[in-house]
């Protein structure tokens, strides 16, 4: 039956002083009068972020976690317009290679979820240009790690602009401006306010990329409540991917704040989904988007272990019976 693997996002609640997202604002950069010294400081921050990323991956191996989302904030100010002469990859290449080698050696699936300002369907040329530039950064990071970039970046469709159909068609038009190497890196997910599973599926089928199904988002925003009717179509979007199907799982903070993510995952809500898809696919990788990060994963696994409808594989994986 279907194997379920759990992953978490970027930060550990257990490791101390291990943030991979340390940063420096451009205002702080400008306050350092010696520009070269300021750049060296940026590089030290980026190296510290990469060293902490490797610490997190080691933590994952120790905890038998095989799925991890890298932060998009590894290199502060990497694409800032005032720092285009900074060859940030040069001092980081050995650290990036070490991360990729470790992930591959230990069978850890890693990917990215770039920030909300990456908007492919924007009606502003400058926003699209900057979005492509940000995606190129993610592509280069994966390449320097020695990781195949195919289907490693999940995006939202973008802005709705109060015209869903026109916004979807603009995504397709703007997609032509995205280099093919970067196109192959991208997956789309349904969101909680603008684009439903049906909307995201329309695009994924049109341009031939995978759909990452977000169950919580679907419950918050849908036209057709029965997502099961689209499940086979969702599976089909992954037919040409080298990776197992991926989904996002989180739970509402409360009925009043339904769209906000809770600290932990509601196991009953999660298993309502899993029971529906059991046996339809050999494996599904579930990215936990909960406030408590890896602690939410550990807590969920403790609850899974006492169920009689699963077979535990290791610290983050189980088989549905």
Q: Compare 234 and 256 and report the one with higher pLDDT.
A: 234
Residues 219, 191: Cα–Cα separation, whole Å: 10
Partners of 213 in beta bridges:
247
Among residues 277, 186, 272, 287, which one has the least CA distance to residue 232? Answer: 277
Q: Residue 162: pLDDT band by 50, 70, 90 thresholds?
A: confident
Residue 301 burial (CB count, 10 A): 19
- Which parts of 113-255 fold into alpha helices (H)? 125-145, 164-175, 180-183, 197-207, 215-220, 231-236
Residues 185, 173: Cα–Cα separation, whole Å: 18
pLDDT tens figures, 201-222:
999 999 999 999 999 999 999 9
Among residues 284, 291, 289, 288, which one has the least CA distance to residue 318? Answer: 284
Residues 241, 188: Cα–Cα separation, whole Å: 13
Sign of the CA dihedral running 214, 220, 223, 227: positive
Number of domains in the chain: 1
CATH number at residue 213: 3.20.20.150
Q: Residue 238: pLDDT band by 50, 70, 90 thresholds?
A: very high
Distance of CA 253 to CAs 117, 266, 268, Å? 24, 10, 15
Q: Span 284-295, mean pLDDT?
A: 98
Is it the case that residue 267 has pLDDT exceeding 90? yes
Residues 43, 67: Cα–Cα separation, whole Å: 27
Q: Residue 253: pLDDT band by 50, 70, 90 thresholds?
A: very high
Q: Span 6-33, mean pLDDT?
A: 95
Q: What is the DSSP secondary-structure string of 224-289?
A: SS-GGGGHHHHHHTTTT-SS-EEEEE--BS-STTTTSBPSS--HHHHHHHHHHHTTTSSEEEEEE-
Residues 149 and 109 sit within 8 Å (Cβ to Cβ): no
Among residues 34, 23, 104, which one has the least CA distance to residue 68? Answer: 104
Range of the domain at 287: 3-320
Q: Span 67-86, mean pLDDT?
A: 95
Structure tokens at 229: 């009717």
Is it the case that residue 196 has pLDDT exceeding 90? yes
Among residues 120, 117, 105, 110, which one has the least CA distance to residue 69? Answer: 110
Q: Span 102-130, mean pLDDT?
A: 96
Parallel, antiparallel, or unpaired for β 186-189 and 153-156? parallel
pLDDT tens figures, 21-74:
999 999 999 999 999 999 999 999 999 999 999 999 999 999 999 999 999 999
Q: Residues 260, 149, 24, CA angle at the centre, nearest 5°?
A: 60
Q: What is the pLDDT of residue 223?
A: 81
Which single residue is written with the structure tokens 């900057």?
Answer: 130
Q: What is the pLDDT of residue 17?
A: 95
Is it the case that residue 225 has pLDDT exceeding 90? no
Distance of CA 158 to CAs 16, 115, 178, 239, Å? 35, 11, 15, 24
Q: What is the pLDDT of residue 141?
A: 98
Mean pLDDT of the chain: 96
3-state secondary structure of 138: helix
Residue 208 burial (CB count, 10 A): 12
Partners of 248 in beta bridges:
214, 287
Residues 303, 314: Cα–Cα separation, whole Å: 14
Q: What is the pLDDT of residue 309?
A: 97
Q: Residue 224: pLDDT band by 50, 70, 90 thresholds?
A: confident
Is it the case that residue 261 has pLDDT exceeding 90? yes
Structure tokens at 191: 């969101």
């Amino acid at each position: 039956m279907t194997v379920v693997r759990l992953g978490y996002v970027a930060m550990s609640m257990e490791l101390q002083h291990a943030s991979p997202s340390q940063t420096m604002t451009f205002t702080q950069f400008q306050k350092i009068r010696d520009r070269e010294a300021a750049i060296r400081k940026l590089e030290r921050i980026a190296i510290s972020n990469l060293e902490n990323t490797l610490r997190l991956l080691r933590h994952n191996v120790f905890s038998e976690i095989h799925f991890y989302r890298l932060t998009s904030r590894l290199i502060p100010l990497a694409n800032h317009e005032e720092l285009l002469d900074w060859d940030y990859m040069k001092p980081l290449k050995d650290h990036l290679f070490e991360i990729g080698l470790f992930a591959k050696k230990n069978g850890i699936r890693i990917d990215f979820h770039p920030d909300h300002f990456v908007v492919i369907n924007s009606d502003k040329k400058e926003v699209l240009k900057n979005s492509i530039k940000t995606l190129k950064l993610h592509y280069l990071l994966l390449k320097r790690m020695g990781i195949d970039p195919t289907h490693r970046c999940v995006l939202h469709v973008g802005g709705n602009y109060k015209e869903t159909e026109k916004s979807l068609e603009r995504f397709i038009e703007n997609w032509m401006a995205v280099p093919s190497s970067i196109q192959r890196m991208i997956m789309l997910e349904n969101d909680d306010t603008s684009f439903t599973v049906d909307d995201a599926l329309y695009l994924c089928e049109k341009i031939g990329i995978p759909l990452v199904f977000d169950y919580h988002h679907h419950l918050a925003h849908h036209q057709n409540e029965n997502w099961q009717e689209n499940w086979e179509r969702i599976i089909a979007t992954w037919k040409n991917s080298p990776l197992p199907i991926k989904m996002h799982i989180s739970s509402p903070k409360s009925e009043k704040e339904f769209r906000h993510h809770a600290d932990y995952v509601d196991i009953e809500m999660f298993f309502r989904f899993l029971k529906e898809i059991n046996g339809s696919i050999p494996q599904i990788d579930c990215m936990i988007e909960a406030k408590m990060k890896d602690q939410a994963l550990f807590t969920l696994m403790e609850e899974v272990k006492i169920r009689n409808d699963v077979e535990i594989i290791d610290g983050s994986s189980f088989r549905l019976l």
